[in-house]
Chains A and B, each alone.
Chain A
Amino acid sequence: MAELAAVVGIGQTKYQTKHKTVSIAGLVRDAALKALQDAELTWDDIDAVIVGKAPDMFEGMIMPELYLTDALGCNGKPMLRVHTAGSVGGSTAIVAASYVQSGMFKRILTVTYEKQSESNAMWALSNAQPFSVHLNAGAGGFFAPIIREYMRRTKAPSDAGIKVAVKDRLHGARNPLAHLQLPNITMKEVEESPMLWEPLRFLESCPSSDGACAMVIANEELAAQSPKKPAWIRGAAMRSEPTMYAGREEVSPQAGIDCAKDVYAQAGISNPRKDLDCAEVYVPFSWYEPMWLENLGFAEKGEGWKLTLEGATSLDDKGDIPWNCSGGVLCSNPIGASGMIRFAEAARQVRGDAGNHQVDGAKLALGHAYGGGAQFYAMWVVGSEKA
């Protein structure tokens, strides 16, 4: 029943610690304009704008879309703002696609961003109200014990996390937009980097970045007229579960499993490792690659780390299912945009437009985002063909 929709334009800023020469509007505009240029369109060709970002406290601006409308050519048009924690970049892309898939709009622009250098993300995320009943140890303090439990269950060697840290940085070195550029990184260097939240080391964690990512999404008719190859949206799904409840499976949350099943069913995928050519998956801490390999059905339970160590997910090792060819969140993390970057990078692959991190002949790719305490998920599958 849904109208077909496709990504026809992608724009990204460079990801870096601090974008010093732009305002917040300027940062967002840069990505949006590049997406328009990629689609060979102008502001007048856009019917609506969908903005996503993580908490307003990062930049200390409430509902910043109200201010961004002028920079995004949105005056007189619909503007919607999505916020679903760290998964927001992915959720925003899905909501944006629904503007077109509903048949109500022909072509829309969607933008996500974070200008984390305006504050301190750790402060914004861990700012506690009075009467807080939980000890505050930052995001790593939340995720490290879950990683430890994964290691206990699977008996994975610590090499697996280190391997991901190296692999994604080597991928990132192929991507000029990636924040961290570490072309000579070694396992030893990661292993010797400072421990932050044991078992997580500094180089096994994501950076804090400024950046924005935008996409133009069009309906079937307009996508067919698009100058560059469209990335057809073959499936999109979101799932949420409560943050804390008795019996919650935190290592491999049910919401992630269900979301993947849903999106695979829509895209006709029965074996993700075989059927997909590559994946861009939200991996902010190295160990989340093996954990998500299992959660997303690329590996049997307890076996995810083996794929990683075998090099199955590495472009440089010529793996069969490269993950995060762009360098992923471990290289660039403007939180509000990170999910959309995954979705956009998946689209770049199936458009054959991923430059030096292109997977040869990629036809079907997964974009994945998660947020909060890993209770919010957004995923899409994009293809070079409509079906």
Chain B
Amino acid sequence: MSAQAEVLQQAFTLGYTYTRTTGPVVGRFLTALRDRKIVGIKGSDGKVIVPPMEYDPVTAEELSEFVDLPDTGVVKTWAWVKHPRGKHLLDKPFAWAQIQIDGSDIPMIHMVDAGDESKMSTGMKVKVRWADETKGFITDIACFEPA
């Protein structure tokens, strides 16, 4: 039996820049984002889903009826990130929220920059803060902010 070996530790990054194809539904949503617009899609039961799903969560039908929506909405639930993690896209305290875009039924998740937890509440109105430059990516919505 030999003496105890040293503990060998080393940081490493596992990563790749994936090149994804979006298909027509996700592509349509991202194209709209680039134009600083939000589109939803009608589910089998007529409810408007944001971001648009390709297939209905209940019937599994392929969905295709897009609906133009405003860039405002209402917070359905939220969580306050007091200490953003390194990967988080905002480097100051922020909220995650499920936001029901006005005119839609199924809410989306994004960030809300409200400055302070006390400014957050379920039912509050928010609007999109668009990125300075949009490119057709989910982060074209930089975040939402209190409206």
Residues of chain A whose beta carbon lies under 8 Å from any beta carbon of chain B: 18-26, 29, 43, 57, 59-60, 70-73, 75, 117-120, 123-124, 127, 129-131
Contacts and interface: CB of A to CB of B under 8 A. Distances in A.
Contacts of B10: 130-131
Nearest to A42: B60
A23 B26 contact: yes
25 contacts: A20-B21, A21-B23, A23-B21, A23-B22, A23-B26, A24-B20, A25-B54, A25-B55, A26-B23, A43-B59, A59-B18, A60-B16, A70-B56, A70-B57, A70-B60, A71-B54, A72-B60, A75-B57, A75-B58, A75-B60, A117-B21, A118-B20, A119-B16, A119-B19, A130-B10
B21 A119 contact: no
Contacts of A21: 21, 23-24
Contacts of A29: 54-55, 62
A70 B53 contact: yes
B55 A23 contact: no
Contacts of A129: 12
B124 to A, nearest CB: 29
Q: Contact size class for B?
A: 20 to 34
B12 A25 contact: no
Nearest to B20: A118
A127 B57 CA distance: 36
Given A57-B16, A73-B59, 18 more contacts: A21-B24, A22-B23, A23-B25, A23-B54, A24-B20, A25-B54, A26-B23, A29-B54, A29-B62, A43-B59, A57-B14, A70-B56, A71-B55, A117-B21, A119-B16, A119-B18, A119-B19, A130-B12
Top 8 closest pairs, chain A to chain B, by CB: A73-B60, A23-B23, A130-B10, A26-B23, A43-B60, A22-B23, A118-B18, A60-B18
A43 B54 CA distance: 15
Nearest to B22: A23
A253 B17 CA distance: 37
Contacts of B58: 75
B20 A23 contact: yes
B1 interface: no
B8 interface: yes
Contacts of B60: 43, 70-73, 75
Contact of B54 (A19, A26, A119): A26
B147 to A, nearest CB: 30
B26 to A, nearest CB: 5
Nearest to B19: A118
A118 B17 CA distance: 9
B136 to A, nearest CB: 14
Nearest to A127: B14
Nearest to A72: B60
Contacts of A118: 18-21
B7 to A, nearest CB: 11
Contacts of A70: 53-57, 60
Interface in B50-84: 53-60, 62
Given A29-B55, A131-B10, A117 B19 contact: yes
B53 A22 contact: no
B43 to A, nearest CB: 11
B58 to A, nearest CB: 7
Nearest to B60: A73
B52 to A, nearest CB: 11
